[in-house]
Structure 1
Amino acid sequence: MSSRKAEPREYHGAAGGFGSLQGIARIELKERAGPGAAETLYRQNKPEGHMCTSCAWAKPPNPHLAEFCENGAKATLWDLTSERCTPEWISRHTVTELRERSGYELEMRGRLTEPMRYDAGTDRYVRASWDEAFAAIGAELHRLDPKSVTFYASGKAALEPSYLYAVFARAYGHNNLPDSSNMCHETTSVGLKKVVGSPVGTCTLQDLDHCDAIFYLGQNPGTNSPRLLRPLMQAAKRGCKIITFNPLREKGLLEFIDPQDPVAMLTQKPTKMSHMYMQVKPGGDIAALMGVIKRVLEIDDEAKEKGLARTLDDAFLAEHTHGFDALRHTVENTGWDAIEANSGIARADLERAGDVYAGAKNVIGIYGMGLTQHVHGSQAIGMLVNLLLLNGNIGRQGAGCTPIRGHSNVQGQRTVGITEKTKLAPVEKYRELLDLETPEEDGHTTVEFLEALLDGSNKGFIGLGGNLAQAVPDHERVHRAWGEMELTVHIATKLNKTHLMPGKSSWILPCLVRAEEDMQASGRQTVTMEDSFSHIYGSIGKRKPASEQLKSETAIVAGLAKATLAHRETRNPKLAWDEWTGDYARIRDLIAHTFPDEFHDMNGRMNQPGGFYRGNGAHDRIWKTDSGKAEFTDPTVLNACGIGEADGRFHLVTVRSNDQFNTTVYGHSDRLRGLEGTRMMVMINPDDMERHGLADGDLVTLIGDAEDDMERTVRGLKVTPYRLPDGCLAGYFPELNPLVPLWYHDKLSKTPASKGIPVRIVKE
């Protein structure tokens, strides 16, 4: 091995700029989306256009010429590919053969065109008709105990099919309705609701125009939500100070060139984004925020002694909060040595961050899965809220808490009834409007579904989109059990790895994408979705469907429900599946009657520019908590990882690449990190490489170090030098999911703790 220390990889450009345009062009050349692609992108995220199927960022009332980002364009072009994955092609291969292909190769085959069923005798998927599929699936669901079946939703389906999906599940007889938020932001739904009474963020898009400081934790906008970069850039330009905490130095939070700014593009002069950038240890955000709060309290105490303007808002604390004294006691009795050791950040830097908070009038906290995907992620969210509450930075203009959601309608699905928790379902409205008596028992989360899968009690699975088997932890155990189910049904647009783990009866039902025209009995249909700021938008597709055999998600859900419930001796005439399919406005009327405070006049408001706001109690300082006030929380740990440090142990952070959205991989370029060509790599800092006798390009195995009896390994990973905190590794999701134990999840939400996985590294 060379005695010279390896140089860490990095991207020497800025986020955005020509690199973003080249990334879009590369996918267009690959997918050949054809004539009309430019028009489709031009209409994306605008009134009377279709809403992006990528992230859940807001659609402004006054859109730019191009209201899409690099990843949003990639998602749309990926959907509109000219390639077709036909039954003829699929049936030429056994499922066993197809399973050897990567997820990227499978999706590159293009759009699914017709329904297919699995033939176990030949180990192949074969062509089927819709009537055959609905009848067979309905009969199988009737045969199974409803409580042994899971209805999963990926987060992309619009409000209309989501509402019907929840009704179908409860009419069938269960509340097993996990969705993709269980895998990412369920910690927000539980943790944020506990402290401010709202399961979603408290800000609106306009608040970003009025903040003086942003504390930004555990989220990478350059890759995961690039349309956020422009408002962040505008905030930075007007003097707002962005304080970033993230184990990785992400380009989108360092510098950005707006592709829609001709001067910036010509000069290639980027805007500096973060005022401070601190590479916190995995799970170290609790300690880091403790240090910031400690400094803020010191500043306030000094001001109080000198009779100067205070940092703390005593009137707000007295009227609107509960539990501050317990937090103050813990902060004052926690030493700086412990804070520095658990956060990996120097005291001086945390004090500087505290100075920024104390000097700002309005502060917004923005966070992503770097906070939520930890064993103590709920406590990390609580600490961020603690900081914001000190000066009343929730419930006023320019201030609040903003989780960045992933899938485009994952928040909306929960809003309209996709939840495993009975207390969150509109049970009384179901009874009043639909004569529907719903099951009283809670259903299961995604983790609980997997536990039931492993013990053999879960017999059936319907997936409304997604690639769940790849997204979950503990691949080896879960994948072995997946094919033992009696029934697996996949509503999908492209072939993926989960489809290749068929149950004894297995079906693939191809659906329209959001940009495609959805024609039903009453004409072209509009669907709706909710963004991260609780705004609702209409979306209408105008592209010709990839196949005449495709059905909408709404039509598929209604077809399954009708076929399943037809086996009941007593029919419910208020479950009007055909009428709902024929005219989605009737579903929206039903949503409006089910949730009148939030969705009144839904049909009349859904196409207004900027969407309509369904409201948020915490935004108006209405605290729907047990105490009726915003709750300070007293942390019990300083690091959110569930397993501490030990000699030779690393904590692994799983990340997405610049060429990826969740489990969908568009290519093998991670441009914004300077990484190309492979996803089978592990990022490690040069000092740790030297300590472990590793060289750039060495092949290593990662071994799970979760202190249980299970062996978890991923082999063949290429060592890649990268700027990371000591003891931290990074690698790609979902390739490294086999290292996550199923039981290793947030204490309250059961969200897998994929941002601090204990592992050891062994040279091959």
Structure 2
Amino acid sequence: MLIYPKSHYQPYTHASGGWGSAKSVMNILWREQVVTKAPGALFKQNKPDGFACVSCAWAKPRRPHLLEFCENGAKATAWELTSRKTDPGFFSAHTLSELRQWSDYALEQHGRLTHPLRYDPQSDRYQPTSWEEAYRDIGAQLKAMDPASVVFYASGRASLETSFMYQLFARAYGSNNLPDSSNMCHESTSVGLQESIGVPVGTVTLADFEHTDGVFFFGQNVGSNSPRMLHQLQDVRRRDVPIITFNPLRERGLERFVNPQSPSEMLTPDSTLISTQYHQVAIGGDTAAITGIAKALLEMDDRATEQGTPAVLDYDFIASHTEGFEGFTTFVRRCSWAQLEHKSGLTRGALEAAATVYARCQRVMFVYGMGLTQHRHGVTNVQMLVNLLLLRGNIGKLGAGICPVRGHSNVQGQRTVGITEDPKKVPVGLIEQHFGFKVPQQMGLCTVDACEGILEGRVRGFIGLGGNFLRAIPDTSRMEPAWQQLHLNVQVATKLNRTHLLPAANMWLLPCLGRIEIDRQNGVAQTYTTEDSTGCIHGWRGSAEPVGPHVRAEASIVAGLAMATLPPGNTIDWQAWSTDYAKVRAAIGRVYPQIFHDMETRMAEPGGFHRPIAAAERQWLTPTGKAQFITPVTLAEDDDVNLAQPARDVLQLMTLRSNDQFNTTIYGYEDRFRGVSGTREVIFMHCNDIVRLGFAVGQRVMLTTAIEPEVKRQVGPFEIIAYDIPEGCAAAYYPECNPLVPLWHHAERSKVPAAKSVPVRLSASPLPRG
């Protein structure tokens, strides 16, 4: 086989965590020039008297570790506390046309935004402006626009207080266009769980990890996406609890772990085995794999009946608490083992092995991520996990349940306080009663709808509360030209990113405080709240001085925009709210009393307080009052991109993150766990596919979407890396591969972009080798 020179790949054979993580943390502290500044903050990260990590939403324990942060959490803190600044002098030296040639990493690496800015089309530069001018001019623009044409996007990092204010601002203005980052990841969870068990969130808390006797992982890379969970998994394994993993790629965090906070582990060659079974399911094969486990359970139950031994299924629970059992089991029995093996990419023996472990356990948790949700039938995937749990009564008892792992730090919380495009999901009556305005009745726009509206010219204004929208969404090559036809574009941000560089007719860039910084209003340090993946609400406060005197708190910015835009007549005292967040929390408690009653007291409790989750108490808030077995209509997870005739030259591509990034934020070019260094322009392929398609390891190739040929979707050149991935499958990084994902390729009902299964063809790059 021909090996091309200058390969960026070296297989990684160490455990996750350990000295590799420690070194990575020190590198970024040094690079961001916060070696002396960051340690004090890190000791307060995820602590009751400190601040919530700005990256993942994993649960914060009641009794935190000495260092309650992970490698990526430390990177996020260093990234925000950086000594580097992007001030008006930077923009006087660089046009937006020039900056569009910079990489995502270089843009954010330059440092924190320090002044409010307005785009000047004559010079193609951002020019400094005052906050008063920005509020006045943006308000004037909004007043002149049709509210239905304006989108209010939220990224998931804003506090509960800011998020509540933001959705009230949008609705008082007359718009339910409130898409958020969950539209791109776990909306399939919100839809699927609501239909199946009556709640839109998971049922597992940290306490369940102490009592479980079985954990199943599906499509979630804990080592890169939520590394603090490895503490719970290590404790689980020390009790000899099995962990069964289903994931296309072998990920180090799901294989072995060394706790960087344990001197004894760091000084010995030992590591903790995480997964006791690791099944490399084919991309798009999750429904088939879960069906296979269910089929094996049914066959085991049949044998138990024949032999007069105890049943495998929990028939008492099924009879008392569920509906739809017969329809689901009929579907499962009709699926042949040949079908299930073909679709899942796993053998019958592998699926029976997983089922055997499941049958032996009494308290089982299913943990999953976007590997399940980002498919055409992502909602079905979520509901299939629920079906499997219901078969053995594994919802509503200690140590068992379903555990979706959310991404951004408060993405679940902002939904809880009203960030949603669907007015049926908010307490309209209480909002109207307390705040004196009429909530618009029409359905708003989710992320995919907003993108379609921009392409069609129906969306004319966009306000972004954080995030890097243009890099996060699919179909990038089509969206970027359309984006520049917007009339209004307002971005609230801490750092410069790609979305800020494609100008609308009127564009502002408003710098906000980071979560780690002290938010003083009228000289008083404010407390804010967030909700984690397990439905726990915590109170926090910043510990670092602000980056400069001209940045403002997100809540203050929302209030300023609202006061400049809305007519008199409602009873919201925006000014008072923006200077005393306790007043906002009191308002949240009035609108959501079941969740947030006595919020001011309860948020200060050690470990915070949990929102009530009815399904965890076996109360099913479904139309029939019972949990639902929901039968899938197909084993094909992405039937909207199935080729008319099978093509051997087409691979199923999934997008993924490196462990040197969080969402669209790129911290560096070291995906240590996968052995990739110095680049992100790679494609992971099975060695057999490389050879049969006529390529070579190290060769540079172009990736082209293998459907809808009239629209060219292409990225590259990418270096081929031979990797442990199922044949016929491939993987490459997000957001670099977002241009390959058609906007219409999204989950049914939830409209989550189906970025985990995109058919692609490869072609040799015209660029030189090496």
Corresponding position of 2:744: 743
Distance change (3 Å), C-alpha of 1:486 and 1:659: same
Cα distance, 1:344 vs. partner? 0.2
- Aligned counterparts of 1:237 and 1:121: Cα–Cα separation in 2: 64
Cα distance, 1:269 vs. partner? 0.7
- Aligned counterparts of 2:534 and 2:653: Cα–Cα separation in 1: 31
Corresponding position of 1:103: 104
- Aligned counterparts of 2:321 and 2:282: Cα–Cα separation in 1: 33
**Residues matched between the structures, number:** 759
Residues 428-474 of structure 1 show CA distances to partners (whole Å, capped at 9, x for unaligned) of 11111111211000101100000000000100000000001001111
- Aligned counterparts of 2:497 and 2:244: Cα–Cα separation in 1: 39
Q: In the alignment, which of 626, 630, 647 is matched to residue 629 of structure 1?
A: 626
Contact 1:213 1:360 in 2 (8 A): yes
TM-score normalised per structure 2: 0.97
Distance change (3 Å), C-alpha of 1:751 and 1:297: same
Q: In the alignment, which of 610, 613, 618 is matched to residue 616 of structure 1?
A: 613
Distance change (3 Å), C-alpha of 1:487 and 1:692: same
The range that moved more, 257-266 or 548-557, is: 257-266
- Aligned counterparts of 1:200 and 1:9: Cα–Cα separation in 2: 39
Cα distance, 1:638 vs. partner? 1.3
- Kindly indicate whether residue 148 of structure 2 is the aligned counterpart of residue 147 of structure 1: yes
- Aligned counterparts of 2:448 and 2:366: Cα–Cα separation in 1: 28
Contact 1:343 1:639 in 2 (8 A): no
Residues 316-364 of structure 1 show CA distances to partners (whole Å, capped at 9, x for unaligned) of 0001101010111111111000000000001101000010011001110
Contact 1:8 1:723 in 2 (8 A): no
Q: In the alignment, which of 581, 585, 591 is matched to residue 588 of structure 2?
A: 591
- Kindly indicate whether residue 572 of structure 2 is the aligned counterpart of residue 571 of structure 1: no
Letter paired with 2:482: A
Corresponding position of 1:114: 115
Q: Which runs of 5+ in 1 are unaligned?
A: none
- Aligned counterparts of 2:228 and 2:280: Cα–Cα separation in 1: 24
Residues 532-586 of structure 1 show CA distances to partners (whole Å, capped at 9, x for unaligned) of 1111001100211001101000000000000111xx3x432x1100000110000
Corresponding position of 1:205: 206
Corresponding position of 2:457: 456
- Aligned counterparts of 1:293 and 1:239: Cα–Cα separation in 2: 24
Secondary structure of 2:43 counterpart: helix
Letter paired with 1:726: E
Secondary structure of 1:652 counterpart: strand
- Kindly indicate whether residue 165 of structure 2 is the aligned counterpart of residue 168 of structure 1: no
Secondary structure of 1:637 counterpart: coil
Corresponding position of 2:515: 514
Letter paired with 1:613: H
Contact 1:8 1:685 in 2 (8 A): no
Corresponding position of 2:298: 297
Contact 1:652 1:730 in 2 (8 A): yes
What are the residue-to-residue correspondences of 1:435-446 with 2, within 5 Å? 435-446=436-447
Residues 187-233 of structure 1 show CA distances to partners (whole Å, capped at 9, x for unaligned) of 00111111111111011111011111111000101001000111011
Cα distance, 1:618 vs. partner? 0.8
% identical equivalent positions:
50
- Aligned counterparts of 1:30 and 1:8: Cα–Cα separation in 2: 23
- Aligned counterparts of 2:3 and 2:597: Cα–Cα separation in 1: 69
What are the residue-to-residue correspondences of 1:14-163 with 2, within 5 Å? 14-163=15-164
Contact 2:97 2:124 in 1 (8 A): yes
Letter paired with 1:170: R
Secondary structure of 2:575 counterpart: helix
- Aligned counterparts of 2:92 and 2:225: Cα–Cα separation in 1: 35
- Aligned counterparts of 1:315 and 1:646: Cα–Cα separation in 2: 48
Corresponding position of 1:312: 313
Cα distance, 1:595 vs. partner? 0.7
Secondary structure of 1:743 counterpart: coil
Contact 2:9 2:675 in 1 (8 A): no
The range that moved more, 161-170 or 519-528, is: 519-528
The range that moved more, 390-399 or 513-522, is: 513-522
Cα distance, 1:709 vs. partner? 2.7
- Kindly indicate whether residue 302 of structure 2 is the aligned counterpart of residue 276 of structure 1: no
Corresponding position of 1:554: 555
Residues 129-160 of structure 1 show CA distances to partners (whole Å, capped at 9, x for unaligned) of 10010001000000110110000000000000
Residues 415-440 of structure 1 show CA distances to partners (whole Å, capped at 9, x for unaligned) of 00000001001211111111121100
Contact 1:46 1:63 in 2 (8 A): yes
Contact 1:365 1:400 in 2 (8 A): yes
Secondary structure of 1:152 counterpart: strand
Contact 2:655 2:734 in 1 (8 A): yes
- Aligned counterparts of 1:36 and 1:2: Cα–Cα separation in 2: 48
Residues 702-734 of structure 1 show CA distances to partners (whole Å, capped at 9, x for unaligned) of 010124531111121111111110111100000
Letter paired with 2:14: G
- Aligned counterparts of 2:269 and 2:138: Cα–Cα separation in 1: 56
Corresponding position of 2:423: 422
What are the residue-to-residue correspondences of 1:137-536 with 2, within 5 Å? 137-521=138-522, 523-536=524-537
Letter paired with 2:333: E
- Aligned counterparts of 1:259 and 1:762: Cα–Cα separation in 2: 43
Letter paired with 1:618: A
Secondary structure of 1:549 counterpart: coil
Distance change (3 Å), C-alpha of 1:708 and 1:173: farther
Cα distance, 1:3 vs. partner? 9.9
Contact 1:178 1:420 in 2 (8 A): yes
Cα distance, 1:626 vs. partner? 2.3
Contact 2:3 2:697 in 1 (8 A): no
Contact 1:161 1:557 in 2 (8 A): yes
Contact 2:149 2:461 in 1 (8 A): yes
Letter paired with 1:146: P
Secondary structure of 1:267 counterpart: coil
Backbone CA RMSD of aligned residues: 1.3
Letter paired with 2:465: L
Secondary structure of 1:653 counterpart: strand
Q: Which runs of 5+ in 2 are unaligned?
A: 766-770
Contact 2:656 2:734 in 1 (8 A): yes
- Aligned counterparts of 1:82 and 1:505: Cα–Cα separation in 2: 30
The range that moved more, 546-555 or 626-635, is: 626-635
Residues 19-75 of structure 1 show CA distances to partners (whole Å, capped at 9, x for unaligned) of 011111111011012533111100110111001011001110111100000000100
Cα distance, 1:8 vs. partner? 8.5
Cα distance, 1:603 vs. partner? 0.6
Distance change (3 Å), C-alpha of 1:98 and 1:2: closer
Cα distance, 1:301 vs. partner? 1.4
Residues 150-186 of structure 1 show CA distances to partners (whole Å, capped at 9, x for unaligned) of 0000000000000000000000001000000000000
Residues 601-655 of structure 1 show CA distances to partners (whole Å, capped at 9, x for unaligned) of 1011112111101110111111111221111111112131232353211110100
- Aligned counterparts of 2:224 and 2:9: Cα–Cα separation in 1: 20
Distance change (3 Å), C-alpha of 1:298 and 1:7: farther
Cα distance, 1:9 vs. partner? 5.2
Contact 2:704 2:761 in 1 (8 A): yes
Corresponding position of 2:768: none
Residues 296-324 of structure 1 show CA distances to partners (whole Å, capped at 9, x for unaligned) of 11111111222212211111000110101
Cα distance, 1:264 vs. partner? 1.0
Secondary structure of 1:226 counterpart: coil
Contact 1:682 1:719 in 2 (8 A): yes
Secondary structure of 1:49 counterpart: coil
- Aligned counterparts of 2:288 and 2:508: Cα–Cα separation in 1: 48
Letter paired with 1:422: P
TM-score normalised per structure 1: 0.98
- Aligned counterparts of 1:418 and 1:523: Cα–Cα separation in 2: 28
Corresponding position of 1:542: 543
- Aligned counterparts of 2:559 and 2:520: Cα–Cα separation in 1: 15
Contact 2:3 2:696 in 1 (8 A): no
Cα distance, 1:268 vs. partner? 2.8
Cα distance, 1:257 vs. partner? 0.4
